[in-house]
Amino acid sequence: MNVMEIPEQKNMFYISLILASALGGLLLLIKWTGIPVPPCYFHQLTGLYCPGCGGTRAWISLLQGHFLQSLAYHPVVLYGTALYLTYVFRNLLAICPWTRHAHSGMAFRNLYLYLAVLLILGNCLLKNILILFL
């Protein structure tokens, strides 16, 4: 069965396109205008990294094509981008009239979210362990 034939999945797909466009526009605006990104207040107060520390730098590095630097700043950004691009590509193939029958699309699975949470927690723990013990 084609995932894009389910109304909820189709709506989620279109909403994801709108949100990704808005996020991409915001990141490009930050990059082009040189608007300073506010510092992490948790890091300033405690000296430790929060689970989101490095996310904005990772996005900006990814936009500049520095994939390994983005991965080092925050691995969930590269993971989420690859997952999202796969989701968009597969679902576009599923709704195109000339490829609709060959592709069934891609639905959201909780596993994707669990992997992202593991990446976020692992990144946070690793960076904080390195700060504390090195």
Q: Does residue 114 register a pLDDT over 70? A: yes
**Number of domain units in the chain:** 1
| Per-residue model confidence as pLDDT tens digits over 46-70 | 999 999 999 988 988 898 899 999 9
Is residue 84 predicted with pLDDT exceeding 80? yes
pTM (predicted TM-score): 0.83
Look at the block and give the residue holding tokens 């730098």. 57
Domain range spanning residue 51?
Answer: 3-133
Amino acid at 54: G
Q: Is the distance from CB of 94 to CB of 4 less than 8 angstroms? A: yes
Compute φ and ψ for 12, nearest 5 degrees. -60, -40
Give the model's pLDDT for residue 128.
95
Q: What letter would DSSP give residue 25?
A: H
The confidence score (pLDDT) of residue 44 equals 92
For the segment 15-20, the average pLDDT, to the nearest whole number, is 92
Rounded to the nearest integer, the mean pLDDT of the chain is: 89
Residue closest to 121 by CA, chosen among 71, 89, 75: 75
Q: Tokens at residue 119, please?
A: 């990446």
The answer to whether residue 11 scores a pLDDT higher than 80 is yes
